[in-house]
Amino acid sequence: MTFEELKKPCDQNFACKENSGCFQDFVNFQFLDQCIDDMFVLGPMELCEEKLKEVLKKTPDQISECVKKSFADKNPEKFDCVSIKERGECFLADVEKHCDSEFFKIFKEHQDLRLYNRACDGRLRYKDWDYSGSQDFEIRNIPGGVKIVDPKRNVTVQRNLTNNLSYILSVLLASLMF
């Protein structure tokens, strides 16, 4: 199955929602992202994860630490730009090394589309999103720190507040000035 075939029902649902005019553009793209991610995770990614878990049992040193941590996490799926990007980068090498070679291309397409649909990388500008001021970047509190996402400048930053408060404040001030 190709990635296009995998996401076709989601694309059709997206077109229906978009044509209804009932939802804002960014909501439609979030629905699309969630649908495609569900199809991907329950389909081909599940097979790849099974393979990675087999490798982890037999030769744990062959799997990266971030993948091990992701498998140990009870709820690893998050839908903010930083988490999507980090998870994709984390799994990339192990997917290429241990999973089906044809799946690697699908994995990269999926990651690229997730970053696009969530407007994480500056390629997509939601029609009804206020780009003039307050919505230029997102600040998200995380345990012990903060994540800053700025899709217009393709910047994602995660910092520990206790050690880097002055750095975070300077990043925030700089982003407000531009």
Full-model pTM:
0.69
The pLDDT tens digits of the residues spanning 8-63 come to 999 999 999 988 888 888 889 999 999 999 999 999 999 999 999 999 999 999 99
pLDDT > 80? residue 168: no
Query: Radius of gyration over alpha carbons of the chain, in Å?
Result: 18
Helix (H, G, I), strand (E, B) or coil at 158: strand
Instruction: Please give the Cα distance from 44 to 103 (Å, whole number).
Output: 7
Residue 140 token pair: 């998200």
Residue 160 has what pLDDT? Answer: 60
Query: Left (φ > 0), alpha (ψ -120 to 50) or beta: where does 140 sit?
Result: beta
For residue 94 the two structure tokens come to: 């192990």
pLDDT tens for 54-100 read 999 999 999 999 999 988 886 666 778 888 999 999 999 999 999 99
Q: How many CB atoms within 10 Å of residue 117? A: 24
Whole-number Å distance between alpha carbons of 127 and 18: 11
